Structure 1
């Protein structure tokens, strides 16, 4: 922990200004009672045991206040979210315990703070989001939408302070925000935050182009402002004449969106004409909003020629994130195309603040709503069969996609991403419908499962009980839900085929008086070059592997085994002579075989069944074909070897010259916390500087059990390693096991 930090005068002023700004914002959206609780949380955020600085050098307390300000002012969230934004950093630094937070502010605050801390832990461990932790990150998000919104506020404040970070950190943070958080802000309807993030990302990842466009915008600012004024004037006069209350202004498009247009149209800055949009915001009552918007549309298109293909009506059917607006593109003065956006003040606030504002106007508290999208994301996340790379691909599909709106036969409205097919629609209805889909009637006409859907389609899915999912369907569907359900269905189908193949093989082998043992199964998989046991049984079911070929293989193996037994009898006779030679080799040294690098004339190796290490009590066992195997005294096979083959046992011990790298396997159990694998790995490779061969973790219901295989010099080093891993937070037990196999 750092020593207490001395605050400079400018930091004291910054804290005071943020404090006052937050209280002003809270008074506009919260009750007096809630404001009192927020004030209490602010005091806890400021009265820390010790103050901390972020990697940027900024005080953590200032960062927390600024994030809370964004949560309150720019996203419009309520009491719980503001308190969580203030306190999660305090709890993370253990200045306040989580149970204290629950006692003062309620269990809801504690749960959200816990989710926020899990996300922050991923960052402190320098974890790439392009890994399995990406799934954990989003699963944390999807538990409560407020976790997403607060983290978005945190990332936005970080982007605003990015000039204070080191260049390497700037690149990492900007890339992450562009990859995940800006698309997520877009999906949640936070367009102001999304736009600021995108511009910030470009500023630090493509600074040269960012500066070029910013300079060009500045050079053309005066001409642009004059054009906007000339464009607006006749519309403004007409709207005044019919008595509408409104604001109308021109808004220059973001540097990021202008750059995208330059790339998409393959044109220089000078040839990009739609550098700005005109926005008309009406002060209308909710019941008059739509008629008033269409009145404005009529006036705009009377004055300027519209482009019919560019009309976007999100009044009749809003976007799934709550966005409502009417967009049109018209031909303005100097033959320039101009985008006009028409909406009410309520719609504009929803457009700027996304879901939080949408819930507020729907009469909710803003703290209880959950977008259906989040439910779908949870469903995809919680499928344990998905690997991280596939998941990221599927998740990204649904972030920026435009939507199509289609109807069921009963008139129920369904939203799907642009490019969705009949098969996507079938899986959206129910996974059982999707699995048995053979086509559909789209607007009364027969359509294949591949047909793309268009706005307004009425769809009736056609199914068949004999239809089964096919692997090629993965190239037909585009939604995460359909892909996830289809992959699971294919896996279930393959399992059924595998079971059928196994039953068929067992029945045929029984007729031939042959037992299907595990050893035989592995031999067959290897012989027929199958990828796995399940694949081998599926190949039997599908006829790819001929069962008569299995019989031929078994008979050839039996013949080989007979020949091997005859050889073994001869080798056993020579084993006695070998033992005698060993006895003679060690007879001059107290009848003890000393294991070191200088031992000659004796063929020995370390047994893999118990992996002896320098320092273990050991003995030698004379094998028939592989010389002497060195075993631990407590090897699980020792009792049988001593009782049945006592004449082959040779006393043995280590010498100081035998120390080398020995393989050891540990069994580790603990709680399934984020970063536990990283902590174990750090103890092994960084703290003790040991080489790690493998680590395997199996998680279940909040706990995990795993094995770690390492190379050590001796048992004392192994004992130290066990002790160190036991001290890792969240570890229940560590013990040595005989083998990783």
Structure 2
């Protein structure tokens, strides 16, 4: 890239600033323009001696963030000024008082929120739960803090190529784990899609390029198909006198990859990598009728798949999104996804929260997005404010970012729950006492257990008992943060009553073992057992789950050096640092540790990486270093929390080691099939098999095989050979 002179840089900065003003579409009165100009000059002066990693003047970054805020998010003066100044308080001599004096309290509060999020994010490796908490608090205060932060993250991803690999992985995983779901929840679908796409590109570059090449190769043919597909639709809608627009929508590489992985299908069998949007120009009071009229005309032309019909108009998504989604059978036996929206719905789909608020002013009742923001406040107030664990993030992500189902009370009131919610989740959503006393439910007038999963449209009446009380097993039967928090609180209150009995037992054990009673040995026991709460510690003592021999082995290791505690299983203990090792099967433990000078790598059992995979090595607070595939969900979670611990050095497995791989084979059920498959594995490739599981159904046979392989190349050759067996339909590597 050509190095610019000082004057050329100045001209480019002014050009980018003028572009910002051009894409700003909300109110632009003289005072608004003057305030934005003041903010630009203030930021330019503050950052004048600073440069980005790419070498360009730092001021280009806040201008780019402000341009995203104005042009792609549709926000106005306050957000644009905040974007221009978002790094000044943290990185320059400008103070919040300076900002408030010049631009007012709203801008100052937004920049203060952004600065605090950045301060938390740049802190230690356990900061991500604190970051998410701050984000949620900010959502309930001024959502514009998060909108500017999303724009900041998007521009950082667009320029991520100048960063080292370990930082690319950290930023990409954090984005996939927190920021992309947040953008989706706030209705910024285009921002969410680009955040995912760029994160995928940097976390798995080879896979990204491979799928992108497939999409590019298929584009011209699929466009031709959709253009032909649209001809009768356009004719029918014109005859009805409707004003409309037809748009071809191309799926992102990331969304195609997710579908390929979920369905275990190759690219050529993913039918809806392109979809059709039908946008109807109509007054808002008539839009529902007109959209259904379009659906009716579409159904006359192409046969719809009723199982794929989704009515997001009657029940909008929590981010305000409204549409009719359907899938129809087009010419040549190809399914085509079609989305029908009004112009208002289209603007909300594109500009998210900003467009939602624009149209929300016309209504009096709270919309779905306001209800969701209210829910975030309730969840945060109910959760343990000191909980810094990964489970905190997971619980909130489940509640706030997952797809929803809608169920009804006996009186017909609608309750929104995350997908996968159970009867017990519903009970706690109504009231904590109802949850604590629940023993079952009448779901659509049929008796169901408390662990039964609910579906949209279910009507639920909880059955209670006065003698029922929360049990430890209940924790496995719920997915919502509210239910988990209430169950934990109930169990905690119950366990408090056992403290005296637990202390008495501990004194007895210490006396018998001739250990002096004191705070230090108690802390040592709790640390080794990974128990963070004294309430839990004394409860387990009282219940006999911690005994004298356990104490002997920890506090008197010279008498017994066995690592007894790795097999202990106690609910609600934070095992984030040791769970991966303890959950490994004996087989993976046998081959999973790789020694290097000064470092021991533990090959994870969640994704079973083999040499040649795209992997990361991550050092955890325990000191153990885990190797994961970069597309592993657990790896994305861990990187988002401990991303600064990603090691720069590559994982170099020892020569002669083999690694566990799992294959799932779908084939026609014919005699001799299993013999053919095992012969290829053991004779042709001379690989050891660890386990085979096989079952058949209606002429098909499904085989799961665990195999030890030396590297990815050997595994790929094996998959290719197995795929060529005449009876075999599909061979997929699974986690």
TM range (shorter): 0.5 to 0.7
Equivalence for 1:22: 20
Q: Alignment partner of 2:70: what SS?
A: helix
Any idea what the Cα deviations from partners look like across 1:642-684, whole Å, max 9, x if unmatched?
A: xxxxxxxxxxxxxxxxxxxxxxxxxxxxxxxxxxxx9xxxxxx
Out of 87, 90, 100, the residue aligned to residue 89 of structure 1 is 87
Any idea what the Cα deviations from partners look like across 1:75-97, whole Å, max 9, x if unmatched?
A: 12233222211112122223422
The alpha-carbon distance between structure 1 residues 55 and 523, as it changes in their structure 2 partners (threshold 3 A), is closer
Residue pair 2:439, 2:464 contacting (<8 A) in 1 also: yes
Any idea what the Cα deviations from partners look like across 1:423-446, whole Å, max 9, x if unmatched?
A: 111111122322222222323333
Equivalence for 1:225: 223
Residue pair 2:69, 2:83 contacting (<8 A) in 1 also: yes
What is the Cα deviation at residue 272 of structure 1? 2.1
The alpha-carbon distance between structure 1 residues 391 and 299, as it changes in their structure 2 partners (threshold 3 A), is same
Q: Alignment partner of 2:191: what SS?
A: helix
Any idea what the Cα deviations from partners look like across 1:385-438, whole Å, max 9, x if unmatched?
A: 534121122133235522111122332221111111111111111223222222
Out of 174, 187, 197, the residue aligned to residue 176 of structure 1 is 174
What is the Cα deviation at residue 177 of structure 1? 1.6
What is the Cα deviation at residue 364 of structure 1? 7.7
Residue pair 1:49, 1:95 contacting (<8 A) in 2 also: no
Out of 226, 239, 242, the residue aligned to residue 240 of structure 2 is 242
Any idea what the Cα deviations from partners look like across 1:285-342, whole Å, max 9, x if unmatched?
A: 1011111110111111111111110001101100111010100001111111000000
Residue pair 1:118, 1:140 contacting (<8 A) in 2 also: no
RMSD: 3.6
Out of 192, 197, 200, the residue aligned to residue 199 of structure 1 is 197
Task: Find the aligned partners of 1:542 and 1:120 in 2 and give their Cα distance.
Answer: 45
Task: Find the aligned partners of 1:525 and 1:259 in 2 and give their Cα distance.
Answer: 50
TM-score, with length taken from structure 1: 0.65
Equivalence for 1:289: 287
Matching of residues 716-735 of structure 1 within 5 Å: none
More deviation, 166-175/281-290: 166-175
Task: Find the aligned partners of 1:478 and 1:538 in 2 and give their Cα distance.
Answer: 25
The alpha-carbon distance between structure 1 residues 476 and 258, as it changes in their structure 2 partners (threshold 3 A), is same
TM-score, with length taken from structure 2: 0.66
Task: Find the aligned partners of 1:455 and 1:52 in 2 and give their Cα distance.
Answer: 53
Task: Find the aligned partners of 1:339 and 1:143 in 2 and give their Cα distance.
Answer: 38
What is the Cα deviation at residue 44 of structure 1? 1.7
Q: Alignment partner of 2:321: what SS?
A: coil
Equivalence for 1:74: 72
The alpha-carbon distance between structure 1 residues 536 and 236, as it changes in their structure 2 partners (threshold 3 A), is closer
The alpha-carbon distance between structure 1 residues 285 and 128, as it changes in their structure 2 partners (threshold 3 A), is same
Equivalence for 2:263: 265
Equivalence for 1:389: 390
Equivalence for 2:460: 459
**How many residue pairs end up in the alignment?**
531
Equivalence for 1:487: 488
What is the Cα deviation at residue 56 of structure 1? 3.2
Task: Find the aligned partners of 1:53 and 1:540 in 2 and give their Cα distance.
Answer: 59
Equivalence for 1:437: 438
Equivalence for 2:97: 99
For structure 2, the 5+ residue unaligned runs are 509-514, 549-641, 643-735
Task: Find the aligned partners of 1:74 and 1:401 in 2 and give their Cα distance.
Answer: 24
What is the Cα deviation at residue 134 of structure 1? 5.3
Task: Find the aligned partners of 2:402 and 2:481 in 1 and give their Cα distance.
Answer: 12
Any idea what the Cα deviations from partners look like across 1:671-708, whole Å, max 9, x if unmatched?
A: xxxxxxx9xxxxxxxxxxxxxxxxxxxxxxxxxxxxxx
Q: Alignment partner of 1:184: what SS?
A: helix
Q: Alignment partner of 2:405: what SS?
A: strand
Residue pair 1:51, 1:61 contacting (<8 A) in 2 also: no
More deviation, 330-339/113-122: 113-122
For structure 1, the 5+ residue unaligned runs are 510-517, 550-677, 679-741
Task: Find the aligned partners of 1:203 and 1:103 in 2 and give their Cα distance.
Answer: 42
Residue pair 1:305, 1:331 contacting (<8 A) in 2 also: yes
Equivalence for 2:354: 356
Any idea what the Cα deviations from partners look like across 1:138-172, whole Å, max 9, x if unmatched?
A: 55565432222111110111111223334443333
Q: Alignment partner of 2:42: what SS?
A: helix
Out of 143, 163, 167, the residue aligned to residue 145 of structure 1 is 143
The alpha-carbon distance between structure 1 residues 12 and 376, as it changes in their structure 2 partners (threshold 3 A), is same
Q: Which has the higher contact order (CA 8 A, sep 6+)?
A: 2
Q: Alignment partner of 1:60: what SS?
A: coil
Task: Find the aligned partners of 2:284 and 2:131 in 1 and give their Cα distance.
Answer: 44
The alpha-carbon distance between structure 1 residues 343 and 249, as it changes in their structure 2 partners (threshold 3 A), is same
Task: Find the aligned partners of 2:95 and 2:144 in 1 and give their Cα distance.
Answer: 21
Matching of residues 312-711 of structure 1 within 5 Å: 312-363=310-361, 371-381=370-380, 383-398=384-399, 400-498=401-499, 501=501, 534=535, 538=539
Residue pair 2:304, 2:327 contacting (<8 A) in 1 also: yes
The answer as to 2:111 corresponding to 1:113 is yes
